[in-house]
Amino acid sequence: MLVASANLRGSIFAASVVLVLRAPGEDTIGVIVNRPGGAVPPGLVLPEPDGRLAGTYRGGPLSPGAPFAIAEVDQAVTGTLEVTGTIRFAAGPAGVRALLAGAGAGRSKVFLGYAGWAPGQLAREIAAGFWSVHAVMPQHLFDPEPADQWMRLSGATQAI
């Protein structure tokens, strides 16, 4: 996971916490996990077995209408990537639906849009001090208070 530094003040990534994954084809992609984004769009039909998908998160600036998801599942779900342990990641409407169906009553988040980096770009940004790198922890992915998450993880004393 990446936590934005104060050096990113004024950028689209200011005060963000980002789950980063290596996607098939070696692309580096991520979703911002601490930016609630509103209601699930009407055209995006997702299973809601217990009403837990009250809204989505703004995952990033690229493809802002494209759905992505993370969820806790007991077993692998076809077409998804393992994040850590029982947490998996899915992209696209079909993958998101399959992942959420497999999650049952487990925790989940749906994101619209994503972040992406060109080869070597993220390494340069980390070396320049734009991001701090943290281990992926389920409590960070499913933080019940996302508005304060950046301050807690970055050690900042005030929001930027």
Mean pLDDT value across residues 79-88:
91
In sequence order, the β-bridge partners of residue 91 are 68
Residue 64 scores a pLDDT above 60: yes
> From CA 73, how far away is CA 61, in angstroms rounded?
27
Query: What is the predicted pLDDT for the residue at 41?
Result: 64
Grouping H, G, I as helix, E, B as strand and the rest as coil, residue 123 is helix
The alpha carbon dihedral of 67, 64, 27, 153 has a sign of: negative
- What's the mean per-residue pLDDT of the chain? 86
Contact 8, 132 (CB under 8 A): no
Confidence of residue 35 (pLDDT cuts 50, 70, 90): very high
Residue 113 scores a pLDDT above 90: yes
Domains of the chain: 2-154 (3.40.1740.10)
Helix then strand then coil, in percent of the chain rounded to 5, is 20, 35, 45
Q: What is the pLDDT of residues 122-158, one digit of tens each?
A: 999 999 999 999 999 999 999 999 989 999 998 865 6
- H-run or E-run covering 156: none
Grouping H, G, I as helix, E, B as strand and the rest as coil, residue 124 is helix
